Chains A and B, each alone.
Chain A
Amino acid sequence: MNPPSARLAPHLLLRPFGLCLLLALVFAASFAIGRYPVPPLTALQVLAAEILPLDAHWSQEVEAVVLGIRLPRILAALLVGAALSISGTAYQGLFRNPMVSPGILGVSAGASFGAALAILLGYGMAGIQAFAFAGGLLAVGASAAIGAGLGRHGDPLLVMVLAGIIVGTLFTAFVSLVKFVADPYNTLPTITFWLMGSLDTVEMADLALAAWPILLGGAVLQALGWTLNVLCFGDEEARALGLETTRLRLLVIVCATLVTAAAVAISGIIGLVGLIVPHLARMLVGPDHRLLLPVAAALGAGFLLLVDDLARSLFAVEVPLGILTSVIGAPFFLYLLGRSRRGWA
């Protein structure tokens, strides 16, 4: 079996280019979408006025809507969509399994528990995010430690996935426990809504914090693209090529976890994106992670941005984002699956 070629085929680069154009279009259009009426041109002018000397002919409300409300939310959708897709892609490659999603090692369950606990203790948004992030890291840390400890004599990947399922179940039980003791009038609905996922509470300061782990983890994963390709072929092949598989695998897990935990901390639980976007990306550009990772990031960012545009504009009260991603994503994915003849990985 040959390792993947070191060069990327040029014909594969055309599609990412089109994808970027599409993403830019959705990005621009998103500023004009929402409950408060802002003409598309004005929305773009408000944005442009941040860097260009333009006369402000719009009201303060319009400026607050575009810059204060929509901008952080759009950036959050891009960031979270990209983060979930990158970590989903990395995990699917690492575990050589198409059914793996970013939550496989328990990060979502851990983050849910952290957030639920913070809500129970009456902390504000910053506390909820910090607890969610810490909970996610804690859960994956436990899974990885169990995998490393018990998997020494068997298949460490399999043991780690099993450990992840167990740890995830355990943390889900903790969430139920928190919900059980929570005051059903105030605390319980807040927890329930957090678990459904939403971007409506994200502010610029939160974004600035969450962006660091996501960008850092994403960059390291991107740099490990070729390594991921090799790891996909299995441990023996990877070792034959001189790779330190155990350490590299741990590095991938650490990065993917940082990325997911930061995303979940600001958005709550958003299902399906991290599972299906990697597949869509593979349908587009094939299995080479050097190209697959950025394409998955762009696709995920665009998908979540589009769905969030719907979530915040369909009705006067918002539809929880986690519900919409699943309701829209599942049939769309099945449709593509039926049409595509391309393999899994």
Chain B
Amino acid sequence: MGARRFYLLTLLLAALLGSAPALAERQLADMSGRLLTLPDTVQRVYAIGHCIPVVAAVAPHKLANNYRLGERALALLAPALREGKVMPAQGMRFSDEEIVTMAPDLIVMEAMPGAGERADRLQEKLKIPVLLIEQDLRDFKRTFHLLGEVLGEPAQAQVLADFVATYLDPIPQLAKRIAPAQRKRVYYAEGPDGLSTNPAGSSHTQVLDFVGGVNVAQVANLPDEGMSSVSLEQIYVWQPDLILVWTPAAEQATTWTAIVDNPLWQRVEAVRSGRVVQIPWLPYSWFDRPPGSNRILGVIWLAELLYPEVYHFDLEAVTREYFSTFYHREPSAEEVRALLALSRPQAGRATP
């Protein structure tokens, strides 16, 4: 009975493997302070939701899964991020059994409020250690170092942390020096019609707060997932200096078009004078959703967009460096220009 023998062998092997890590494992605290027991060398990581970009940056070969991305997004990633990744059939959720089938030896999850308990339960159920990491823009250096240590990529983690130290770290200091009168007031337009937003303080608009922009929606105590509706007349009252447009179905620029083509929006000065900016969305959004390490480039892009006289970034050079460091593939000069042109959909439509 070949099949039975095979099962027996598998069982034996599983039992052996189950006891083996006792020889080669280590203890380590994650970013919420939970103590974890990890295998000495982690081979395969399942990154939950918006932890995908950060794990991809540190150890592309070890990442087991990826978002279901379009052709244009995939073309910008290194082969290590395109090939052999498990992708959800729809949306981005995997069932417990799909996770087990993926056979990761580590799960990486974001340290959101209440995540500790969820991580413990998941870990208990799947018998796979769950590592919690911070994705606040101010924590990324620590996150990279921790992931570098856990995944055995300390050198790459150092490169990533250096990128953050060079470009991101000076920003809050410079932002503090911008006079209140000089601060740009920004409306973040979400939803198919642009009449949904996330107010200041939300994790979805942290990039804006970080570079010293003022979110016109100052509303306390809203659920963080946000997308609260706003009436257009409220936007008349706010009269933002700039409108940032989110990125669903961005290929068609649905929301951007809904705003720019609607005569009622023309009563907003920013729309009349063409200051409606589409957030670049390749390979992931640069600003939000997922709120992961993809936002690091968004910080630099938005800083330069709002206050070129304060920050003086060479956007093309930084974009190229970011893509080769975080997505492991150096884009051509033409690709970089096309990426930056995504923020102006009409100009973007002209280029193929």
In the assembled complex, the Cα of A316 lies from the Cα of B50 at a distance in Å of: 29
Number of interface residues of B (CB under 8 A): 43
Q: Which residue of B lies closest to A198 (CB)?
A: B229
**A122-B249, A124-B192 given; A34·B233 CB < 8 A:** yes
B336 sits at the interface (CB 8 A): no
**A61-B236, A186-B289, A189-B225 given; A200·B49 CB < 8 A:** no
In the assembled complex, the Cα of A185 lies from the Cα of B196 at a distance in Å of: 13
In the assembled complex, the Cα of A320 lies from the Cα of B230 at a distance in Å of: 10
Pairwise interchain contact B236-A125, C-beta atoms closer than 8 A: no
Pairwise interchain contact A317-B267, C-beta atoms closer than 8 A: no
B197 sits at the interface (CB 8 A): yes
Pairwise interchain contact B236-A36, C-beta atoms closer than 8 A: yes
Q: Which of A30-60 contact B (CB under 8 A)?
A: 34-37, 60
Q: Which of A185, A186, A201, A316 has its CB near the most chain B CB atoms (within 10 A)?
A: A185
Q: Given B199, B231, B237, B254, which contacts A318 in the complex, CB threshold below 8 Å?
A: B231
List, in ascending order, chain B residues with CB within 8 A of A201's CB: 192-193, 195
B173 sits at the interface (CB 8 A): no
Q: Given B192, B229, B233, which contacts A69 in the complex, CB threshold below 8 Å?
A: B233
List, in ascending order, chain A residues with CB within 8 A of B290's CB: 185
List, in ascending order, chain A residues with CB within 8 A of B236's CB: 36, 61, 64-65
Q: Which of B50, B263, B267 has its CB near the most chain A CB atoms (within 10 A)?
A: B267
Binds A, one of B12-20, B162-170, B216-224: B216-224
List, in ascending order, chain B residues with CB within 8 A of A183's CB: 91-92
In the assembled complex, the Cα of A35 lies from the Cα of B234 at a distance in Å of: 5
Q: How far is the CB of B140 from chain A (nearest CB, A)?
A: 19
Pairwise interchain contact B229-A317, C-beta atoms closer than 8 A: yes
B228 sits at the interface (CB 8 A): yes
B39 sits at the interface (CB 8 A): no
A335 sits at the interface (CB 8 A): no
Pairwise interchain contact B249-A317, C-beta atoms closer than 8 A: no
Q: Which residue of B lies closest to A68 (CB)?
A: B264
Pairwise interchain contact A316-B219, C-beta atoms closer than 8 A: yes
Pairwise interchain contact B49-A65, C-beta atoms closer than 8 A: no
A187 sits at the interface (CB 8 A): yes
**A61-B267, A181-B90, A184-B49 given; A317·B219 CB < 8 A:** yes
List, in ascending order, chain B residues with CB within 8 A of A34's CB: 231, 233
List, in ascending order, chain A residues with CB within 8 A of B193's CB: 125, 201
B191 sits at the interface (CB 8 A): yes
Q: Which residue of A lies closest to B225 (CB)?
A: A189
In the assembled complex, the Cα of A34 lies from the Cα of B93 at a distance in Å of: 40
Pairwise interchain contact A316-B217, C-beta atoms closer than 8 A: yes
Q: Which of B189-224 contact A (CB under 8 A)?
A: 191-193, 195-197, 199, 217-219, 222
Pairwise interchain contact A318-B229, C-beta atoms closer than 8 A: yes
**A124-B192, A187-B248 given; A193·B232 CB < 8 A:** no
List, in ascending order, chain A residues with CB within 8 A of B237's CB: 35-37
Pairwise interchain contact B233-A65, C-beta atoms closer than 8 A: yes
Pairwise interchain contact B229-A184, C-beta atoms closer than 8 A: no
B78 sits at the interface (CB 8 A): no
Pairwise interchain contact B233-A122, C-beta atoms closer than 8 A: no
B308 sits at the interface (CB 8 A): no
List, in ascending order, chain B residues with CB within 8 A of A275's CB: none
Q: How far is the CB of A312 from chain B (nearest CB, A)?
A: 5
A107 sits at the interface (CB 8 A): no
List, in ascending order, chain A residues with CB within 8 A of B289's CB: 185-186
Pairwise interchain contact B217-A317, C-beta atoms closer than 8 A: yes
In the assembled complex, the Cα of A321 lies from the Cα of B225 at a distance in Å of: 19
Q: How far is the CB of A257 from chain B (nearest CB, A)?
A: 26
Q: How far is the CB of B229 from chain A (nearest CB, A)?
A: 4
In the assembled complex, the Cα of A186 lies from the Cα of B236 at a distance in Å of: 25
B274 sits at the interface (CB 8 A): no
List, in ascending order, chain A residues with CB within 8 A of B192's CB: 119, 124-125, 128, 190, 201
B35 sits at the interface (CB 8 A): no
The 9 A-B pairs with the shortest beta carbon distances in the complex, nearest first, are A185-B289, A36-B233, A317-B228, A181-B90, A189-B227, A186-B248, A35-B234, A318-B229, A122-B249
15 example contacts (A-B, Cβ-Cβ < 8 A) are as follows: A35-B234, A36-B236, A37-B237, A61-B236, A65-B233, A125-B193, A180-B93, A182-B91, A184-B91, A184-B93, A193-B191, A198-B229, A316-B234, A317-B229, A318-B230
